[in-house]
Structure 1
């Protein structure tokens, strides 16, 4: 038997302790967790070393005035793409273009192999599969243009398989027990390798971040297999939550059908521009009901956790956390604190964010995207993408649950990067009809 000490995992749940942990960047490190995930995804040690070696302040490419490593710069580069501004506007325009041409009955009949056509012209769709198809495809096109889908047209299906098993990556599951996850992951990585082997002049329509990140890695002589693996991680982070967020938001709305009319009435002015263009600013800044529903869905469905490696003895909440162990902060329980969210905290009620705004989203118990230096940089893009999809869907179609079906139960037993999936991968059948009076 080994005499090596067993690693401890400390768990903290109090909002004040959580805030203290976020502020501590000296003795609580995120790097070890990221590096472990990189190894689990088959990045080589030479790649990990290159990513975490400080770079010259005057290097070419993305500015590096503080001499940080590419692993640190990558987050700053992604923020440059994802925070409000030209980069985020590009992504939203791409989402809109993709949804706009596909959200009509003709395309649903011809383009959705999983749809069941009714004699009356209606279509019955499995909602999660539909959301996954549209949201992953839109995200893929926004980041990689059309070329990646042309290399392999089955990436959406493979990603869903991978994503539903991606907890095995987070748990660093033994390879012998993770064969299906690895097979789907490898399919996507092979497609990404072929993608980066195309001359950049032959690729068009991709996000700035995609090409910039590739160039930064090539400048460090990181090999194409490792670059493809890093891009696979980006593909994962990009697509894991949007499809599930759209599913849960629509599921909650469809199980309270009166909310459909609320959204239609509130968002209708965004469709009444004289130039025929959708007023995106109106949707995001003039629709409090819609935004409250988004916040409530996130509160109910987010299940990310903070993981830190303790590099020196640290005091939090009056207790000493010993060096060499790990700190875990699950956020989900914070979102069901009845002293903050009220006695109905276990139920979907978006009006709590109307009545108590802005106090709820500014409280220490509101952590759907993490916090501190590792707060999810994609939260703005995810929200814009999902709300755009939902608003277009509800304005263009009549949609209802196809026969009686209870609200699916979230799978709280598996770790995720953001939004939970459904227990036992249960889907929700919905009936879709073209609206006679579209906004």
Structure 2
């Protein structure tokens, strides 16, 4: 009897499994289950994304096994926009980042796992909804980031501090003398990192650690791969680099906290030399309010610095590359930014960062670089059953929207003579007619990006949209404007990472996974002369 039942049962189960699979999105194949896709994602991201783009041309949703995570990759404006609604959360992905890329302790992670009330002011229904507001770690974190990264005061303070520190870096070059063999991206990785770090956390962390910049750029490569939570034996080197940089941040924090008077007048100062900005002090105070360990606070500052530098500096490098390859575009931007110049009491020229963000051509160039080089998998988890592209996904499904697919869509971005895959500085402006002060009709450029929801999302979207986006925008535009206005710059040649001549221009570095703006795999050698 058993011999008769087993074949029938096997046939029934196989048929049921086939029917279940037929109601699921197609799957991105892999040679070795649980290994092939994540390995390619980590080691040859360009090839991985080429496969993803190819299959998403045929279907707006595809399943993909990335190590331990089964994800659904989606494209299309409406499908991407669904992920930014309240039925999705980024909390599980943030937990992975904090624990694996930040190195938070299990004791401190327990605060996050215990709080299911969410980030909004109104708590979600459930066991955590009765928590006192000050004990809701997701909500207080969100509010702290709003207060220190989004409000006008901290953004204005950062713009002032950054310009001052970056000016010091630029003034190290002699005025009116040509300096040879400047590699633009290497310069930015060193000097822009130094200026922005001092502006946000003060000078002590660099004074205490002469190798801080090298340690940071080693760490910068690790968060994306660490976040997936692969076994330590696979990511041993990345874990070691994370722990080293986390220790640098922890030791700095311990000394800064010891020496700082939290009840004194510097607590409200926009900048002071111990903790730096309100961004830094706000993070420290919030972490202290939950009695975080020094290890976790060090990890928090490591992630803060990663967010500060990892996207901004590559984007700034790409903007400079594109301007210097196109002398006509370079001169047009150089003329445009004069509209944002201001003279302070010290008679030095600075820039109004708010004015810079309103300059149409500069904004178009910046947006175009973001479109081409920000490559992020925006990751959300469904909090209920959801329907995407006709498929019903169960509660707890991980949905990822690759910016690279949406940002390179030809039907959205292509223009005659300017395919979506190529840089075109004027892609996001249009020419309009307007009356000048005397009433004469004149033509001018206007920045234009309306109707792009779900097709352009370099900072994500919804409640989890990047809180530091305004400071990031200000930093890029200020750095570019300061370089363009203060220097005569001449292109010399492209060089490889070892400084040797390269026969081709830079492209995206394939080693970087979909978590940050992709840096260039080549550098641009220039000669420059400081004008003032």
Which of 75, 93, 98 lines up with 1:38 in the alignment?
Answer: 98
Q: Which residue of 1 aligns with 2:148?
A: 81
Question: 1:393, CA displacement in angstroms?
Answer: 0.9
Q: Which residue of 2 aligns with 1:399?
A: 489
Q: Which residue of 2 aligns with 1:370?
A: 460
Distance 1:7 1:163, change over 3 A: closer
Superposition pairs for residues 166-177 of structure 1, below 5 Å?
166-177=223-234
The separation in 1 between residues aligned to 2:451 and 2:308, in whole angstroms, is 23
| Stretch of structure 1 that moved more, 375-384 or 210-219 | 210-219
SS at structure 2 position matched to 1:261: helix
Q: Which residue of 1 aligns with 2:527?
A: 432
Q: Which residue of 2 aligns with 1:114?
A: none
Structure 2: which 5+ residue stretches go unaligned?
Answer: 1-64, 122-130, 262-272, 431-445, 495-502
Question: 1:364, CA displacement in angstroms?
Answer: 2.9
Contact 2:337 2:359 in 1 (8 A): yes
SS at structure 1 position matched to 2:72: strand
The separation in 2 between residues aligned to 1:182 and 1:242, in whole angstroms, is 24
Which structure has greater helix proportion? 1
2:322 paired with 1:252 = yes
Contact 1:301 1:419 in 2 (8 A): yes
Contact 1:240 1:417 in 2 (8 A): no
SS at structure 1 position matched to 2:381: strand
The separation in 2 between residues aligned to 1:359 and 1:208, in whole angstroms, is 32
Contact 1:87 1:208 in 2 (8 A): yes
Q: Which residue of 2 aligns with 1:70?
A: 137
Deviations 1:340-383 (CA, angstroms, capped at 9, x unpaired)? 22232111112121128434474431111111111111111111
Give the TM-score normalised by the residue count of structure 1. Answer: 0.85
The separation in 1 between residues aligned to 2:490 and 2:362, in whole angstroms, is 18
Structure 1: which 5+ residue stretches go unaligned?
Answer: 58-63, 109-119
The separation in 1 between residues aligned to 2:340 and 2:423, in whole angstroms, is 26
Q: Which residue of 1 aligns with 2:516?
A: 418
Q: Which residue of 2 aligns with 1:99?
A: 166
Question: 1:248, CA displacement in angstroms?
Answer: 0.8
Contact 2:505 2:522 in 1 (8 A): no
2:74 paired with 1:12 = yes
Contact 1:53 1:70 in 2 (8 A): no
Per chain length, whose mean CA-contact separation is higher, i.e. which structure has more relative contact order (CA < 8 Å, sep 6+)?
1
SS at structure 1 position matched to 2:220: helix
Distance 1:385 1:361, change over 3 A: farther
Question: 1:385, CA displacement in angstroms?
Answer: 0.8
Contact 2:333 2:362 in 1 (8 A): yes
The separation in 2 between residues aligned to 1:69 and 1:107, in whole angstroms, is 53
SS at structure 2 position matched to 1:213: helix
The size of the alignment, in residue pairs, is: 412
The separation in 2 between residues aligned to 1:55 and 1:36, in whole angstroms, is 16
Give the TM-score normalised by the residue count of structure 2. Answer: 0.71
Which structure has greater strand proportion? 2
Superposition pairs for residues 186-205 of structure 1, below 5 Å?
186-198=243-255, 199-201=258-260, 204=274
The separation in 1 between residues aligned to 2:280 and 2:329, in whole angstroms, is 38
Q: Which residue of 2 aligns with 1:382?
A: 472
Contact 1:159 1:185 in 2 (8 A): no
The separation in 2 between residues aligned to 1:221 and 1:107, in whole angstroms, is 49
